[in-house]
A and B are shown apart, each in its own frame.
Chain A
Amino acid sequence: MDLTPDPTTWRVLIVDDEPDNLSLASDFLEFTGAATAKAGGADEGLEQVDLFKPNLILLDLDMPFVDGWDMHRQLRAMPNLQSVPIVAVTALAMPDDADKVYAAGFDGYITKPFRVRELLDALSACIETFIRNYDWQHALPPESHAPSSV
């Protein structure tokens, strides 16, 4: 896995229906040395998965049409995305929301509004956990998991 907690190793796909949210996260992450791609909705996001080949996905939960929950299910069904952490970004902030997000299988959770430094710290922490759990769950490196279908 080429992904580490260091942002210069990140290829982040950011999916959010608010153009300002996209620019904010994308500009900031580019400043930290990450490569980013932006998508304004689930369709565009799924396209970018093939084109940009992200190793990290930031997904807004409250999007019109196909929301982040649905898109997450579609992404998780793709075998070649098993080694890509998906982090939920949401304005929901009730105490049990975090539980719902983790129960749905997201790898991380950050609530809006966030300070840009908090975003960086949250993503690094999430990647650290993801890598630790990934190595534990998979005896074989991710490359050996040939995609069976898409």
Chain B
Amino acid sequence: MSHELRTPLNAIIGFTDLMLTEMPGALVEKQKDYLKRVIANGERLLALINDVLDLAKIESARVDIVAVAFSPAELLKATENQLRGLADQKKLRFDTQLAPDLPLQLKGDANRLEQILVNLVGNAIRFTDVGNVSVRFAKSDDTHWILEVADTGVGIPPHAQEFIFDEFRQVDGSPQRMHGGTGLGLAIVRKLAQAMGGAVRVESEVGKGSVFTVQLPLVDVQRPITEAQGI
């Protein structure tokens, strides 16, 4: 289904993009403005389609969570590479931190962990205008690890902390357009965390910022399997 939904949209965005190069012919400012809006909305719709399909896949349990060795440092680096530009644009400090007792390698689904981080960090940047966004990867106990994304953004009032993980729910109907995003990011994060046997929670204070914490069971590659699995 994803192919059928994306293909026409790719053509819409692609040909609009081609017109905007003005190679086929010069455009007046108004025309450029309208075409840019076609592209911006096309891309919003594309992001939404990707998220809706992904969420449906996770919900129907068709998602395979793999367990392969990965480097926590590389995971944070990959996330940073994707989002550093966005933080720079808003002049936010962005730092990543690996707890010193973290092993060099853990076993888990690095792609899905990256997806969780990209969603959380993307949100943190979107809802923060001044200050910093930080990511921390740390040990929780012998078999569990935490990924923490903290920001100094607008914060989430207590009543809203219940429903922000629901689909298409933002705090007080805050304009999605103003903040960007598809409205599905946190729903995807929660479903993914659950699919991996973990959970996500939020602590937040309005005007001060938010901390999202994902706790996950991951296997330390160095430890014998039997020991690592015992709880």
Within 8 A of A (CB), among B11-40: 11, 13-15, 17-18, 21, 23-24
The verdict on B3 contacting chain A, using a C-beta distance below 8 Å, is: yes
Bound-state CA distance A53–B23 (Å) is 26
Within 8 A of B (CB), among A82-98: 91, 94-96
The verdict on B111 contacting chain A, using a C-beta distance below 8 Å, is: yes
Closest to A27 in B: B18
What 1/0 mask marks residues of chain A from 19 to 51 whose CB sits below 8 Å from any chain B CB?
011001001100110000000000000000000
Bound-state CA distance A40–B3 (Å) is 17
Closest to B22 in A: A31
Contact A95 B10 (CB under 8 A): no
Bound-state CA distance A62–B10 (Å) is 15
Given contacts A20-B11, A113-B10, A113-B13, contact A28 B18 (CB under 8 A): yes
Bound-state CA distance A78–B3 (Å) is 31
A residues within 8 A CB of B3?
62, 91
The verdict on A100 contacting chain B, using a C-beta distance below 8 Å, is: no
Judged by DSSP, the binding face of A is: loop
By the criterion of a CB under 8 Å from any partner CB, how many residues of chain A are at the interface? 19
By the criterion of a CB under 8 Å from any partner CB, how many residues of chain B are at the interface? 18
B residues within 8 A CB of A27?
18, 24
Contact A18 B7 (CB under 8 A): yes
The verdict on A116 contacting chain B, using a C-beta distance below 8 Å, is: yes
Contact A115 B114 (CB under 8 A): no
B residues within 8 A CB of A28?
18, 21, 23
Q: Which residues of B contact A (CB under 8 A)?
A: 3, 6-7, 9-11, 13-15, 17-18, 21, 23-24, 46, 78, 111, 114
Complex A-B, nearest 9 residue pairs according to Cβ-Cβ distance, in ascending order: A31-B23, A20-B11, A113-B10, A24-B14, A115-B17, A116-B18, A116-B17, A28-B18, A95-B111
